[in-house]
């Protein structure tokens, strides 16, 4: 967790700091480490890595970390510049035929919980997705909470914020992408041949996909559940299962 400071924000947590330093060093403005905690192997290694790369580090008392990170930091925090918006149209134009063929994107239709955004981003990074598409309105943007929930993994992938998600999906389709929507009534994912390049659409926590977004999909894919299960999976859980199946099909012999 952290707090926003103008056009920058603090992110707490050792893994989040490590991932931010590795993936977006140009956005790092400041690193704070617990002056007492650096005796621990994990923080000592982080301090050594920062100094080896020429990164300035301030050793501070724990109360300073508590102040900027609401007490949840594990002894480490980084202040990150708010990144420039990623351009989806430019990304699509920049894909040549060879690089396009295996691209996977995840699109989130009004997913409003930053913890869900972070969890989905972590799965997307782990299962080889290139990026996430999110609408500007009624959706969680990338915040300190989302970065912390992803353990910094959201820093490894592109995040495209778009005005209109249906139009963004249409642009992806025009660029040769297949559009798959996650839906409880859809065909079981492992029975479908999931074609790439592709966009996997995940609906909002309560309402699922909106009508126009659903109509943009080439296929609906579902996750069968046991009869004794709950009504539906959480958005981030469903995304993880489907992103894994996409990766499995991609990497299977």
Whether the predicted pLDDT of 1 surpasses 70: no
Highest-pLDDT range among 84-88, 148-152, 164-168: 164-168
Q: Which of 163, 161, 165 is nearest to 210 (CA)?
A: 165
pLDDT band at 70 (very low <50, low <70, confident <90, very high): low
Question: Looking at per-residue confidence, does 9 or 231 come out higher?
Answer: 9
What's the CATH code, domain 88-251?
3.40.1280.10
**Positions of CATH 3.30.1330.30 in the chain:** 4-81
Whether the predicted pLDDT of 80 surpasses 90: no
Whether the predicted pLDDT of 178 surpasses 90: yes
pLDDT band at 228 (very low <50, low <70, confident <90, very high): low
Backbone φ and ψ of 130, nearest 5°: -85, -25
Rounded to two decimals, what is the model's pTM? 0.79
- Strand, coil or helix: 192: coil
The region that residue 234 occupies, defined by phi over 0 for left and psi between -120 and 50 for alpha, beta otherwise, is beta
Pick the CATH number of 4-81 from 3.20.10.10, 3.40.50.720, 3.30.1330.30, 3.30.70.580: 3.30.1330.30
Q: What is the DSSP letter of 194?
A: -
How does pLDDT run across 24-35, given as a tens digit for each residue?
788 888 899 999
Please report the beta strands in the chain, taking only residues with DSSP state E, as ranges in sequence order.
4-5, 8-12, 28-34, 57-60, 76-81, 104-108, 131-135, 158-162, 178-188, 198-202, 219-222
Token pair for 231: 């009504």
Residues 6+ apart with CB under 8 A from 238: 182, 202, 223, 232
Mean pLDDT over each residue of the chain, to the nearest integer:
88
- Strand, coil or helix: 9: strand
**Positions of CATH 3.40.1280.10 in the chain:** 88-251
pLDDT band at 165 (very low <50, low <70, confident <90, very high): very high
Question: Looking at per-residue confidence, does 10 or 167 come out higher?
Answer: 167
Token pair for 215: 């109509």
Whether the predicted pLDDT of 239 surpasses 50: yes
- At residue 4, the pLDDT reads 40
Find the Cα–Cα–Cα–Cα dihedral 8, 13, 15, 21, rounded to 10°: 30
- At residue 106, the pLDDT reads 98
Alpha-carbon span 165 to 184, nearest angstrom: 21
Whether the predicted pLDDT of 229 surpasses 80: no
Question: Looking at per-residue confidence, does 2 or 72 come out higher?
Answer: 72
The distance in angstroms from the start CA to the end CA of the chain is: 41
């Amino acid at each position: 967790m952290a707090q926003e400071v103008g056009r920058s924000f603090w992110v707490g947590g050792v893994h989040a700091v490590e991932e931010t330093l590795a993936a977006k060093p140009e956005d790092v403005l400041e690193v704070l480490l617990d002056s007492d905690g650096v005796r621990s192997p994990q923080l000592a290694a982080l301090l050594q890595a920062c100094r080896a790369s020429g990164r300035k580090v301030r050793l501070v008392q724990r109360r300073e970390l508590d102040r900027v990170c609401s007490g949840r930091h594990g002894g480490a925090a980084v202040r990150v510049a708010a990144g420039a918006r990623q351009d989806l149209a430019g990304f699509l134009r920049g894909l040549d035929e060879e690089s396009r063929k295996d691209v996977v994107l995840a699109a989130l239709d009004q997913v409003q919980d930053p913890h869900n955004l972070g969890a989905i981003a972590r799965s997307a990074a782990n299962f080889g997705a290139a990026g996430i598409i999110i609408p500007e309105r009624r959706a969680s943007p990338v915040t300190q909470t989302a970065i912390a929930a992803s353990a910094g993994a959201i820093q490894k992938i592109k995040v495209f914020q778009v005005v209109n998600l249906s139009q963004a999906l249409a642009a992806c389709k025009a660029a040769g992408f297949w559009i798959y929507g996650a839906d409880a009534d859809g065909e079981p994912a492992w029975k479908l041949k999931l074609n790439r390049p592709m966009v996997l659409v995940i609906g909002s926590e309560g309402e699922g996909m909106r009508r126009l977004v659903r109509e943009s999909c080439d296929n609906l894919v579902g996750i069968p559940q046991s009869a004794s299960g709950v009504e539906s999976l959480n958005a981030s859980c469903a995304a993880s299962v489907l992103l894994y199946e996409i990766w499995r099909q991609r990497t299977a012999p």
